Structure 1
Amino acid sequence: MSLSTAPYISFPGTTAEAMAFYQSIFGGELEVLRYDGMSTEGFPVQPGPDAVAHASLTGGALDLRAGDEIGDDLPSTLSPVYSILAMTDTVPEAEALIETFTAAGGTIELPFLPAPWGDTYGQVRDNFGVMWQVLTPGSA
């Protein structure tokens, strides 16, 4: 069987900006497909021409797919039920990642500190509302 998986996030109209930001951090190739020029006949709502139908970030340290949610009642990305785990080889790499998120408007949700299980761990919510768990294994 050939199988691959990737998280998919529906952003409330900020997909292009979020995915470009993630590419600046994690590298990889970013492809963005907008509704402009697509037939949306039969859609229950009409997306704006700049709305992102699908975006993919591949080939770097993050494999992620996303798209703009369409409609009047857009969901929030602020949720305690999902997060993305970023693992680094060293504590300074993790601290630099957290600094990148906070410098762009993110907030520390849990300070990056030695954890009882032997790793160093913290949480940061980026300026798009996505929660990132940051972990450096065996570093505590």
Structure 2
Amino acid sequence: MARALATYISLPGTTAEAMHHWHEIFGGELNIMTYDDVPMEGMPFEPHPGAVAHATLDFPGGSIAGSDVVDDKTYPIRDTAYSFLLTTQNADEARGYMAQLIDGGGSEAMPFEQAPWGGWYGQVFDQFGVMWAFSCDEDSPRPQLI
């Protein structure tokens, strides 16, 4: 039986930077191993110096793993076909994460508002082009407007 589902992403040489950025926002435990630390004998490719072979960020409520792309192809990162969805305890927590991702060089894709299906939902693209979606249960209180 499966134990847990985690997100895995390969970025174009920015995995270490992204993982450090996400660690600053979400906290948790960060581990990064580069190909410099891995025996390369028998590997079918030649990674760039310092390329990330495997990184993990385990934080309250989630886990992200990833590595750097090891070929010279261009892969789209910024897209709406996927997102990292984080369900928070309340709307203020989600808004806080969204603000940190935007302040870190990201942009709002969808404001955090009550969703037609109940609850709250919003989206941001971080500085790396990754779309983050945030949600919380419908019984989360509406924020006080002053």
Letter in 2 for 1:51: A
C-alpha RMSD over aligned residues: 1.7
Matched, 1:8 2:12: no
Letter in 2 for 1:80: T
**TM-fit CA distance, 1:60:** 3.0
**TM-fit CA distance, 1:53:** 0.3
5+ long unaligned stretches in structure 1: none
CA distance in 2, matches of 1:79, 1:41: 36
- Equivalent position SS for 1:82: coil
Q: Contact 1:115 / 1:121 at 8 angstroms: preserved in 2?
A: yes
TM-score normalised to the size of structure 1?
A: 0.89
**TM-fit CA distance, 1:76:** 2.5
CA distance in 1, matches of 2:79, 2:45: 25
**TM-fit CA distance, 1:86:** 1.3
- Equivalent position SS for 2:101: helix
Sequence identity, in percent?
42
Could you say which residue in structure 2 is the equivalent of 1:79?
A: 79
TM-score normalised to the size of structure 2?
A: 0.86
- Equivalent position SS for 1:36: helix
Large movers: runs of 4+ above 2 Å: 1-5, 37-45, 59-62
Could you say which residue in structure 1 is the equivalent of 2:19?
A: 19
Could you say which residue in structure 1 is the equivalent of 2:88?
A: 88
**TM-fit CA distance, 1:22:** 1.2
The 1:4/1:74 distance shift into structure 2, 3 A limit, reads same
Letter in 2 for 1:50: G
Would you say how many aligned residue pairs link Structure 1 and Structure 2?
Answer: 140
